[in-house]
Chains A and B, each alone.
Chain A
Amino acid sequence: MKKLITIALLSGLLSTVTMAQKQQERISDMKHMADGMGLIMNGLLYNYLDNVDAGVKYIQEGVNSIHKKGDLKSYLPADTAYAYKFGEKSLRRIMEYSNELDEAMAAKDYDGALESASLLMRQCNSCHARVRGW
């Protein structure tokens, strides 16, 4: 009986630690991508290509980091893990819009760049609305 209780307690503790670790990983990835968005906004406001490029790089690094962690089902919070396909699509769109932003800046198409940045922001928030329950 004592053994069973010990095993149950240890399992619970391990599960809690794993969940906390996953949450930290999510926070780290999201913060990196948010920093990227900040750089992009700054770069667009001041017409500073380097910041926009850096911002795109941060965002794409964030996406790649998420992919490296494997299955999105285990990455998402438990209560929204079922929406992993939506998450996967969001990540694809984020890559597309960030590439389009880079292309627009390189072509000095500032209206196109603003549009792509707006779509990028919207896509990020779209996933948040779903996964974070906004």
Chain B
Amino acid sequence: MQRRDFLRVVGAGATAVAVCPSMIGGTLYADNGLLYKAYEKVQLVDGEGNPVKASELKAEKTYVFNYPQVAVPCFLINLGEKADNEVKLQSEDGVEYIWSGAVGKEQSIVAYTAICPHQLTHVNKADSFMSYVPRKAKTMAYSEGGVIICASHLSAFDPKKGAKNVSGPAPQPLASIVLEHAKDETLWAVAVLGQDKFHDYFKSFKSEFKEQFGGRRKAKKFVSFSVPTVAISEYTKEIIAY
């Protein structure tokens, strides 16, 4: 982590403690309902290492990057329309938090972890049972398109509302990736909002991590500086959706 980023995290932490002393480790819980974990700020870059520009993201096309750890897949989607603001969400164990909204000029760019909180179905290099269904498309998981679905047990999440779980057995929303949209149109991942499932996730797929990352220890390594962000069709060999 660079000194500038370290000071940023410390500064944010100090502010949060001043607002509400209930700070545990790197997780900040404030009285306004935020459940927020800050990680190193990394820039989203394309496959060739050039910064991803918000204005160049195609509408309703799904991109994938890894954050905050090497094996944690995340969706980046330009919804093509303005997302809601200040959405109240609730985690599986009843903790409430606020998703403040999307980024970008049109407030339409969102990012979420691509790990289903139900039974940890996730995007990986071999296949993906999670995907974004465009507004005009149909899905068995929900009455309309414009949702992220998990094709394992047909859960659906609304990306306009902080990936709120809207149908199926998923007990909570997808954890959000907090993005910063800089003046030069570049995008940066800075934190995770909501209850993630990283602990269970890393315990559950030993063979996959060995095959795709060289082992669980390498899979758990934190990303740094920048992360490649590619179309889902480039990231994974097969996308399964119902």
- Residues of A at the B interface (CB closer than 8 Å) are 82-83, 85-86, 89, 96, 99-100, 115, 119, 122, 126, 129-130
User: How distant is the Cα of A129 from the Cα of B169 in the complex, in angstroms?
Assistant: 10
The answer on a CB contact under 8 Å between B152 and A130 is yes
Complex contact A130–B153 (CB within 8 A): yes
B90-129 with Cβ < 8 A to chain A: 119, 127, 129
Q: Is the CB of A129 within 8 A of B153?
A: yes
Are the C-beta atoms of B242 and A119 separated by less than 8 Å?
no
Contact A85 B207 (CB under 8 A): no
B-to-A contact residues, CB < 8 Å: 119, 127, 129, 151-153, 169, 203-204, 206-208, 238, 240, 242
Q: Known pairs A82-B242, A85-B240, A89-B129. 6 more at Cβ < 8 A?
A: A83-B242, A85-B238, A96-B206, A100-B206, A130-B152, A130-B153
Q: Are A86 and B127 in contact (CB under 8 A)?
A: no
Chain A-chain B contacts (Cβ-Cβ < 8 Å), number: 27
Q: In the complex, A99 Cα to B152 Cα: how many Å?
A: 23
In the complex, chain A residues whose CB is within 8 Å of the CB of B129: 86, 89
Report how far A82 CA is from B2 CA in the complex, Å. 50
The residue among B129, B169, B240 with the most chain A CB atoms within 10 A of its own CB is: B240
Give A114 Cβ to nearest chain B Cβ, in Å. Answer: 12
Chain A hits for B203, CB < 8 A: 115
Name which of B152, B169, B203 has the most chain A CB atoms within 10 A of its CB. Answer: B152
Residues of B within 8 Å of A89, CB to CB, are: 127, 129
A50 CA / B119 CA spacing, docked (Å): 30
A99–B153 Cα distance when bound, in Å, is 25
